[in-house]
């Protein structure tokens, strides 16, 4: 067997020890984030994985890159959920369901709302990035809800990311993640309250909200 012991991650060959260290780091990071929050020291993650801190840096150049990798599956799940909801019969409810799922993810552990906001708002040049696979269908959910007259048309997708992230952050700060869904109910109401004047699915026509 002349071929060296390698494996693949993405499209790059890796030495087996490197690949194993990478996996150990990811497992260690997942546990550490869940236990101590997204601000846990990188030293502790490396220690738990049984590797040097320098090795951690070699595999993951930034805390964010490590965090994003540990969230990959959940982010993909959020994207899939958005795509599935696109065929749901009620566009307004579909959007709400997705926003609540995103919020649940955002408060999964302490300190996550900030990094998650960054990840979701990063416009990666790599079009196949997770971020796009989440945002594209989710933004579509918003458009569909607006076209159905279920949500105000003056709302942009980034407004939703900001509002949900902000709520998640506030709940996280108070160490009361259970408050998050309640606060989101209020925001959901805001999205719908002024939705439309005429069409089938619409809420009743209302006066303009008071912008100043």
Partner DNA sequence: ACCTGAACACCGTTCAAGT
**Which one of DNA, its own copies, none interacts with residue 42, CB within 5 to 8 A by kind?**
DNA
DSSP state of 9: E
- Measure the CA–CA gap between 205 and 208, rounded to whole angstroms: 9
Q: Please, what is the angle between helix 157-173 and helix 130-147, to 10°?
A: 110
DSSP state of 96: H
Binding residues for DNA, rule: CB under 7 A, are 14-15, 17-18, 21, 41-44, 50-55, 57-59, 62-63
Nearer to its own copies, 14 or 155 (CB): 155
Nearer to DNA, 17 or 76 (CB): 17
- Measure the CA–CA gap between 154 and 11, rounded to whole angstroms: 42
Minimal distance in Å, beta carbon 109 to its own copies?
A: 18
**Which one of DNA, its own copies, none interacts with residue 43, CB within 5 to 8 A by kind?**
DNA
Nearer to its own copies, 8 or 212 (CB): 212
Binding residues for its own copies, rule: CB under 8 A, are 93, 96, 100, 114, 117-118, 121, 155, 159, 162-163, 165-171, 173-174, 179, 181-183, 185-194, 206, 209-212
CA 173, 178, 182, 184 torsion: positive or negative?
positive
- For residue 12, what are the β-bridge partners? 9
**Which one of DNA, its own copies, none interacts with residue 15, CB within 5 to 8 A by kind?**
DNA
- Measure the CA–CA gap between 29 and 49, rounded to whole angstroms: 8
> What is the β-pairing status of strands 12-15 and 6-9?
antiparallel
**Which one of its own copies, DNA, none interacts with residue 212, CB within 5 to 8 A by kind?**
its own copies
Query: CA-based diameter of the chain, in Å?
Result: 76
Minimal distance in Å, beta carbon 161 to its own copies?
A: 8
């Amino acid at each position: 067997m002349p071929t060296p012991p390698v494996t693949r991650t993405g499209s790059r060959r890796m030495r087996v020890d490197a690949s194993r260290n990478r996996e150990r780091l990811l497992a260690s990071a997942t546990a550490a984030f869940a236990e101590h929050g997204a601000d846990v020291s990188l030293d502790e993650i490396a220690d738990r994985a049984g590797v040097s801190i320098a090795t951690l840096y070699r595999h993951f150049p930034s805390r964010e890159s490590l965090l994003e990798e540990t969230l990959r599956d959940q982010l993909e799940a959020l994207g899939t959920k958005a795509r599935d909801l696109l065929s749901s019969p009620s566009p307004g409810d579909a959007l709400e369901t997705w926003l609540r799922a995103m919020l649940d993810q955002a408060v999964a552990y302490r300190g996550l709302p900030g990094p998650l906001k960054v990840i979701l708002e990063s416009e990666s040049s790599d079009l196949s990035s997770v971020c796009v696979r989440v945002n594209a269908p989710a933004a579509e959910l918003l458009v569909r809800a607006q076209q159905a007259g279920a949500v105000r048309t003056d709302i942009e997708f980034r407004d939703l990311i900001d509002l949900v992230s902000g709520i998640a952050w506030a709940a996280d700060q108070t160490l009361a993640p259970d408050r998050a869904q309640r606060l989101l109910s209020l925001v959901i109401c805001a999205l719908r309250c002024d939705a439309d004047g005429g069409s089938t699915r619409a809420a009743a026509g209302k006066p303009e909200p008071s912008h100043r």
